[in-house]
Structure 1
């Protein structure tokens, strides 16, 4: 089912999960309606893959496991995830997600993030050399999110592998 642009039924997640190729990882669906205040993504992690440990400083995120299983590590505590698990990831928490042997499909929902903007560093980063001039290797091809960690391998929003991690 294609994403619709208005309110109402937007997708049937069970059908999207079933119909997608079993070796297709990353975003299977995303909320695309204009003018929205929410972002939502249906993301498949392939068997035994993971979203690296990271901190989301600005947004609370809710995950719903629609299929598969895995393990969540949040602020050093491990929790098993199974189909039907609902997870709250408060902003500022340190989290990582690992898919089990059959993979994991999860729906993530959070407040929509404002667009990326180029900013001048205001900390002592200038004296340390700061970031590279081009950060394209840290921008997710699927959802456009800039990874905040320089060593991130997967997008913390949608789970897609980042360009430099290929």
Structure 2
């Protein structure tokens, strides 16, 4: 399906259309031959979400971190992993869908055959250049008067 998505919600003739983006089964079929890291990223213009298919090799790890702003869904597509968080260790296997709420601290450790998973979260807003007056307003709202 070759469709240009303007990301706008204009008339029906110009409205974005659903489309197939990725065959995750084909990505997973690479197994241990797949490179480590992001195998696929959602890159469509006008999107409100970010999504990635990530491969961690056997024993690979996403170090302990806290996501302060975004809830994340993590779906294991192939393999197994362990989720480490404040309440202990949780096994993740193919088909397990996990919610990682914002503010939670977590780490992911791939199992003996590695793991491939999909993550989905709200898109982070891009950085914007603002006027010096906007920075002054932000400092005042945070109680930093600059004096």
Unaligned runs of at least 5 residues, structure 2? 6-16, 130-134, 143-147
Paired with 2:32 and 2:105, the residues of 1 have a C-alpha distance of 31
- What is residue 62 of structure 2 aligned with on the other side? 51
- What is residue 35 of structure 1 aligned with on the other side? 46
The normalised TM-score by structure 1 is 0.65
Q: Which has the larger radius of gyration?
A: 2
- Residue 17 of structure 2 is aligned to residue 18 of structure 1: no
Aligned residues: 119
| Deviant stretches of 4+, over 3 Å | none
Cα deviation for residue 22 of structure 1 reads 1.5
- Change in CA separation of 1:25 and 1:117 when aligned onto 2, cut-off 3 Å: farther
Paired with 1:13 and 1:21, the residues of 2 have a C-alpha distance of 15
1:96 match: secondary structure: strand
Unaligned runs of at least 5 residues, structure 1? 124-166
Aligned CA RMSD, in angstroms, stands at 2.4
The normalised TM-score by structure 2 is 0.73
Greater share of strand:
2
Cα deviation for residue 7 of structure 1 reads 2.6
Paired with 1:74 and 1:115, the residues of 2 have a C-alpha distance of 29
Moved more, 89-98 or 76-85: 76-85
